[in-house]
């Protein structure tokens, strides 16, 4: 009963704050929880794929590691969108976000094949979608 009343009171307060127009999607992204959960499921699959690639490279007899620095464009317009994208890059094995600028993220990749900027397009689009941000990034196969 105590937990039920707690959940009800939280929902009531969030509803009141939304009605009073003091919530926005950047400071309280509660209205995109299902999208964010769907993104995390997709990201988990990408993390597994990257893990396999890194383990293969590290355990191969010639240790085919080729560290690379690259700049990845950030189509996100909000700070939370950029941070979510950068954190997603860092969570993916073999890549680390080093610096976030206005229009790009500096990324260190363990393998050169993980450093192509166009390989991050889908992650950029999906991370923006997860927080309800619309970006105008070209999709693969679209004419520029």
List CB contacts of 36: < 8 A, sequence separation 6 or more.
29, 130, 131
**Per-residue model confidence (pLDDT) at position 63:** 76
The pLDDT tens digits for 110-133 are: 888 888 888 899 999 998 888 888
For residue 69, tell me if it sits in a domain.
Answer: yes
For residue 124, tell me if it sits in a domain.
Answer: yes
For residue 119, tell me if it sits in a domain.
Answer: yes
Q: What does the alpha-carbon distance between residue 100 and residue 103 come to, in Å, rounded to a whole number?
A: 8
Q: What's the number of domains the chain is made of?
A: 1
Judged on CB neighbours under 10 Å (0-12, 13-18, 19+), 10 is exposed
The pLDDT tens digits for 18-56 are: 788 776 666 666 667 788 889 999 999 999 999 998 898
**Per-residue model confidence (pLDDT) at position 115:** 83
For residue 92, tell me if it sits in a domain.
Answer: yes
For residue 8, tell me if it sits in a domain.
Answer: no
For residue 3, tell me if it sits in a domain.
Answer: no
> Residue 126 sits in which domain range?
32-130
**Per-residue model confidence (pLDDT) at position 48:** 94
Q: Per the confidence metrics, is the pTM higher than 0.75?
A: no
For residue 15, tell me if it sits in a domain.
Answer: no
Segment 15-19 shows an average pLDDT of 84
For residue 137, tell me if it sits in a domain.
Answer: no
């Amino acid at each position: 009963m105590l937990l039920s009343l707690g959940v009800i009171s939280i929902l009531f307060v969030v509803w009141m704050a939304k009605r009073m127009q003091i919530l926005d999607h950047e400071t309280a992204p509660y209205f995109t929880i299902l999208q964010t959960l769907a993104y995390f499921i997709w990201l988990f699959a990408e993390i597994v794929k990257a893990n396999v690639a890194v383990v293969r490279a590290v355990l191969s007899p010639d240790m085919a590691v080729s560290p690379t620095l690259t700049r990845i464009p950030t189509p996100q317009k909000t700070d939370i969108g950029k941070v979510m994208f950068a954190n997603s890059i860092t969570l993916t094995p073999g890549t680390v976000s080093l610096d976030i600028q206005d229009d790009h993220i500096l990324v260190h990749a363990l393998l050169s094949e993980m450093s192509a900027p166009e390989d991050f397009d889908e992650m950029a689009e999906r991370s923006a979608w997860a927080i309800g941000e619309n970006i105008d990034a070209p999709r693969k196969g679209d004419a520029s």
